[in-house]
A and B are shown apart, each in its own frame.
Chain A
Amino acid sequence: SPILPSIDKEEITMAEDYLNKLYALPKKASNEKLQRSSSMSMRLKEMQEFFGLKITGTLNEETLNVMKKPRCGVPDVAA
């Protein structure tokens, strides 16, 4: 799973919203759990690479800290 157990639901929702708006993570339309988690993992890797974080594909505290920073609303990857 791309999400560590220690991350709470609210943070997961925030992360999904971040990746949806800024890294073109598809919306919840796909209800295939496995497909969804691989897509999220891929987008997480893109975001971690962009910010020079350790590229793990998992939602960890370091990645969450960057997601929580105030920023510009334009996507980081060409939408």
Chain B
Amino acid sequence: YSVFPGNYKWKKHDLTYRIENYTPDMSVAEVDDSIQRALQVWADVSPLRFTRIYSGVADIMISFAVGDHGDGYPFDGPNGFLAHAFPPFDGIGGDAHFDDDETFAFKSYNGYNLFLVAAHEFGHSLGLEHSQDPGALMYPNYVHRDVDTFSLPQDDVNGIQFLYGPNPDVNPDKPKPTPPTTPDRCDPKMVLDAVTMLRGEIMFFKSRFMWRSSPFSSTVEQHLIKSFWPQIPENIDAAFESPFDDKVYIFKGQKVWAIYGYDVAQGYPKSLSSFNLPNKVKKVDAVLYDEETYKILFFVNNKIYSYDEQTRRMDKGYPKPVENVFLGMTGKVTAAFQFKGFNYLFSGSKMFEFSSYHKKLFRVLSNNYFLPC
């Protein structure tokens, strides 16, 4: 998190807000509700309290405007800058302006969710600057999140409590859920959800996040999964890329999604049975695509199902115990991918490297071997 230099913070905890006008995209009630919940997010974790007034000058004046609206920071039409807000000080300080050339939405995907945009801007109204944590609400780029399960991330909680302290009214009998944190790829104990190739890059999935690692550059980018594919769930089970149809398949529970570039393919999610897996299989732990044999290996508990992508049939003689196929692989496989002729099976915080041809164990590595710290 980051705060504005110069101690920009409110010297009082009881603040007022006023909604000066409305966007035609949503009903008045939807705007009122979105704004109220966006302020409540901060009140829940700090001593700050917000009271709405309907006339006069409030600490936080909220308005929808387009283009040049007289504050020296003109809006830029659809997309681009969605809104802005001023840090705490007299006059325009604390005020939040929303670009009404955008389409704002209350719940659905078709538009920028006003609650999410407003909660971010009110972070500025209270004294927070942008955060470099890609999971933080105060990250500058808009990321669609599931607003029904939204909980202020830990980085933002740390920021607002740095300025104002914790919420004194927390009921110890009803503790709030712990705020979501952003996983650290350098954590030696981290267990990955899934790993897959994606057009030459390696994608590592963990809770709400993914890391993108290009074998040709030393940088690793971390993103919220939903910043790329809003429809894809978090905490996925497995993933693999089929160069055959240039798609990445994402597995969670009994559902399968297919990703083509930035898009989620039509007609998904489908069920696991679309890969000929028996109905008794309710979840897969990992999937490995073998580019040599066009086989898709599904790891389910300590067994492997082998699916032939060309015949679209499950191979005879499967499932087999994992250890019969990958000698020496005794733990539960939690993720798998193939890279430059080697198969990499993840189990807990370890990564087992097998030759893809002989399926012989070569090395046991740490699971962030491809995610340099």
B124 touches A70 (CB 8 A): no
Q: Could you say which of B5, B81, B134, B218 contacts A73, with CB atoms under 8 Å apart?
A: B81
A74 at the interface (CB under 8 A from B): yes
Compute the total of residue contacts between A and B using a CB distance below 8 Å: 64
B-chain residues with CB within 8 Å of residue A73 when the two chains form the complex:
73, 75-76, 81-84, 99
**Given A52-B222, A72-B130; A66-B83 close (CB under 8 Å):** no
B156 at the interface (CB under 8 A from A): no
B142 touches A71 (CB 8 A): yes
In the complex, how many angstroms separate the beta carbon of A25 from the nearest chain B beta carbon? Answer: 16
A54 at the interface (CB under 8 A from B): yes
B-chain residues with CB within 8 Å of residue A50 when the two chains form the complex:
130, 132
Render B254-276 as a binary contact track against A, CB cut-off 8 A, 1 for contact.
00000000000000000000000
A52 touches B83 (CB 8 A): no
- Measured CB to CB, the nearest residue on chain B to A50 is B132
Interface residues of A in 19-71 (CB under 8 A from B): 21-22, 50-54, 66, 69-71
B-chain residues with CB within 8 Å of residue A74 when the two chains form the complex:
84-85, 124, 129-130, 140
A72 touches B221 (CB 8 A): no
B219 touches A72 (CB 8 A): no
A78 touches B5 (CB 8 A): yes
B79 at the interface (CB under 8 A from A): yes
In the complex, how many angstroms separate the beta carbon of B118 from the nearest chain A beta carbon? Answer: 11
User: Which of A70, A73, A78 has the most chain B CB within a 10 Å cutoff?
Assistant: A73
**Given A70-B142, A78-B129; A53-B221 close (CB under 8 Å):** yes
B243 at the interface (CB under 8 A from A): no
Distance A51 CA – B134 CA, assembled complex (angstroms) = 8
Task: Describe B's contact surface by its main secondary structure.
Answer: loop
A11 at the interface (CB under 8 A from B): no
Q: How large is the interface on B (under 10, 10 to 19, 20 to 34, 35 or more residues)?
A: 20 to 34
B-chain residues with CB within 8 Å of residue A51 when the two chains form the complex:
132
Distance A51 CA – B131 CA, assembled complex (angstroms) = 10
- Measured CB to CB, the nearest residue on chain A to B219 is A54
B134 touches A52 (CB 8 A): yes
Render B67-82 as a binary contact track against A, CB cut-off 8 A, 1 for contact.
0000001011001111
A78 touches B84 (CB 8 A): no
Q: Could you say which of B5, B120, B218 contacts A72, with CB atoms under 8 Å apart?
A: B120
In the complex, how many angstroms separate the beta carbon of A70 from the nearest chain B beta carbon? Answer: 4
Q: Which positions in A face B, CB cutoff 8 Å? A: 21-22, 50-54, 66, 69-74, 76, 78
Q: Which positions in B face A, CB cutoff 8 Å? A: 4-5, 73, 75-76, 79-85, 99, 102, 112, 117, 120-121, 124, 129-130, 132, 134, 140-142, 217-222
A-B contact pairs, 20 of them (CB 8 A): A21-B81, A50-B130, A51-B132, A52-B220, A69-B141, A69-B142, A70-B142, A71-B140, A72-B81, A72-B83, A72-B120, A73-B73, A73-B76, A73-B83, A73-B84, A73-B99, A74-B84, A74-B85, A74-B130, A76-B140
